[in-house]
Structure 1
Amino acid sequence: MRHKFLSTKRLNNENGMALVLVLLLIMIFSVLTLGVIGVTSSNLTLTTGERDHQSSYYIAEAGINVRMQEIQTESLEAYNQHLENPIGDSRDAIVSAISTGLNEKKDFNNGIFLTEVLGPLNDEYPLKYTIKSEGIINNRSRKLTKDITINSPENNDLAVVTDESISLRGGASINGSVATKSLNENAITLTGGSSITQNISLHPDADNEKVINVPDHYPEEWWLKVQKKSYPSLTFPIFPTYPENSENHDNIELSGNDKFKWDLNSSVTSISTISLKSNTELTIDVGNSDKKLVVSHLNIINGHILIEGTGSLKIYVIDEITMGSGSSINNDGDIDQLQLFLKASDSTTAKTLKLSGNQKIFGSFFGEDTNIDLTAGSGFQGHILTGGTSVNISGGSDNTTKLFHAPNAHFSMSGGGSVTGRIISKSFEATGGSHVIMDKIEEDSLSTIYDGSNPGDYFFNQNNLIISTTPTKEQAE
Structure 2
Amino acid sequence: MHMLKQKKISENEQGSALVYTLMVLLLLSLLGMSVGMVTVGSYKLSDSNRDYTSAYYIAEAGANQVKSDFTKKVNDLYTESITEDSFIDAVNKEVSALKSKTFTYPKQFNEEVKGNIDVTGNFKDGYTIISKGAVGNKTRTVEMDVEVNWIKKSAGALLPELPDGAGLVVDENITMDGGSFSGAIYSNSQSNKTVIIQKQSGYGNYNISKVYYSGKETIFDGYYRPSNLSKFEKVSTQFDISNYEKAINTIKNDVESRRKEGLLLETIINYPDGNRELKINDKDNYEKILIETNHDFIFNTGGKDVTLFVKELDMKVKGMSIAGGGKLTIVVENKLFIPRGNFNTNGSNDKLNIVYLGTEPLMMSGWEPMKFVGNIIIPNANFDGNYMDLTGVVLAGENVKFNGGGTASSALILAPNGKVELGVNGGSYILNGAVVASTFYMSNNASLIQKNIDTSNFWNSGSSQGDTGTGDLIITSPIIEPN
Q: TM-score, normalised by structure 1?
A: 0.55
1:423 to 435, 449, 461: 435
Separation (CA, whole Å) in 1 of partners of 2:351 and 2:361: 24
Cα deviation 1:295-340 (Å, max 9, x = unaligned): 111101344332112211111111111012x334323422110111
Q: CA deviation at 1:213?
A: 2.1
1:105-163 CA distance string (max 9 Å, x none): xxxxxxxxxxxxxxxxxxxxxxxxxxxxxxxxxxxxxxxxxxxxxxxx99941011111
Inter-CA distance 272–217: structure 2 relative to 1 (3 Å threshold): closer
Cα distance in 1 for partners of 2:336, 2:411 equals 22
Q: Partners in 1 of 2:448 and 2:420 — Cα distance?
A: 12
> Where does residue 433 of structure 1 map in the other structure?
445
User: Using a 3 Å threshold, how does the CA distance of structure 1 residues 185 and 154 change in structure 2: closer, same or farther?
Assistant: closer
Match of 1:333 in 2: 347
**Alpha-carbon distance, 1:407 to partner:** 1.1
Q: Give 2:182's aligned residue.
A: 175
Measure the CA separation in 2 of the matches of 1:363 and 1:290.
15
Kindly indicate whether the alpha-carbon contact (under 8 Å) linking 1:381 and 1:399 is maintained by their aligned counterparts in 2: no
Mapping for residues 17-416 of structure 1, pairs under 5 Å: 156-170=164-178, 172-192=179-199, 193-203=204-214, 205-207=215-217, 210-213=218-221, 215=223, 218-219=226-227, 222-229=228-235, 230-235=237-242, 236-237=245-246, 238=249, 239-240=252-253, 241-242=255-256, 243-245=258-260, 247-248=263-264, 250-264=266-280, 266-324=281-339, 326-345=340-359, 350-356=360-366, 357-375=368-386, 377-388=387-398, 390-396=399-405, 398-414=407-423, 415-416=427-428
| Equivalent residue letter for 1:261 | E
1:374 deviates by 1.4
Q: Within 1, Cα distance between the matches of 2:225 and 2:416?
A: 33
Change over 3 Å in CA distance of 1:195–1:449 after alignment to 2? farther
Mapped partners of 2:316, 2:205: distance in 1:
38
- Kindly state the Cα deviation for residue 183 of structure 1 after the two structures are TM-superposed: 2.7
1:200 maps to a residue whose letter is V
Shift of residue 196, structure 1, vs aligned partner: 3.2
Letter in 2 for 1:178: I
Percent of aligned pairs sharing the same letter: 17
Secondary structure of 1:409's match? strand
Distance in 1 (CA, whole Å) between partners of 2:225 and 2:170 is: 26
SS of the residue 1:383 aligns to: strand
Structure 1 residue runs of 5 or longer lacking an equivalent are 1-152, 451-477
* CA distances 1:226-253 after superposition (whole Å, capped 9, x unpaired): 2112323322121334332265463221
CA–CA distance in 2 between the matches of 1:294 and 1:442?
27
SS of the residue corresponding to residue 284 of structure 2 reads: strand
- Alignment partner of 1:198: what SS? strand
Q: Quote how far apart the aligned CAs of 1:201 are.
A: 1.1
Does the 8 Å contact 1:276/1:299 carry over to 2? yes
* Structure 2 CA distance for aligned equivalents of residues 310 and 300 of structure 1: 22
Secondary structure of the residue aligned to 1:321 is strand
The 8 Å contact of residues 279 and 302 in structure 1, kept in 2 or not, is answered as: yes
Cα deviations across residues 167-192 of structure 1 (Å, max 9, x unaligned)?
Answer: 1122x122211111113222102232
Secondary structure, in 3 states, of the residue corresponding to 1:197?
strand
- Deviation per CA, 1:51-88: give whole Å up to 9, x if none: xxxxxxxxxxxxxxxxxxxxxxxxxxxxxxxxxxxxxx
Conserved in 1, the CA contact under 8 Å of 2:211 and 2:231?
yes
Deviation, structure 1 residue 267: 2.2
- Secondary structure at the counterpart of residue 445 of structure 1: coil
The DSSP-based 3-state class of the residue aligned with 1:336 is helix
Distance 2:389 2:226 in 1: 35
Deviation at 1:353, TM superposition (A): 3.3
| Equivalent position SS for 1:299 | strand
Alignment size in residue pairs: 284
The answer as to whether partners of 1:373 and 1:392 remain within 8 angstroms in 2 is yes
Question: Which TM-score applies when normalising by structure 2?
Answer: 0.54
Q: 1:449 to 1:359 in 2, by over 3 A?
A: farther
CA deviations over 1:27-57 (Å, ceiling 9, x no partner): xxxxxxxxxxxxxxxxxxxxxxxxxxxxxxx
Give the aligned residue type for 1:175. Answer: S
How many Å separate the matches in 2 of 1:282 and 1:379? Answer: 19
Name the CA shift for 1:280/1:224 in 2 (closer, same or farther; >3 Å): closer
Q: Report how far residue 397 of structure 1 moved.
A: 6.2
Q: Distance in 2 between matches of 1:359 and 1:429?
A: 23
Q: Structure 2: which 5+ runs fail to align?
A: 1-160, 463-483
The CA RMSD over aligned residues, in Å, is 2.7
Q: Is the 8 A contact 1:190 1:213 kept in 2?
A: yes
* 1:370 counterpart letter in structure 2: A
8 Å CA contact 2:208–2:226 kept in 1: the answer is no
Q: Deviations over 1:264-289 (max 9, x none)?
A: 2x322111111122424431111222
Letter in 2 for 1:330: N
Label 1:328 to 1:296 Cα distance change in 2 as closer, same or farther (>3 A): farther
How far apart, CA to CA, are the structure 1 residues paired with 2:439 and 2:162? 24
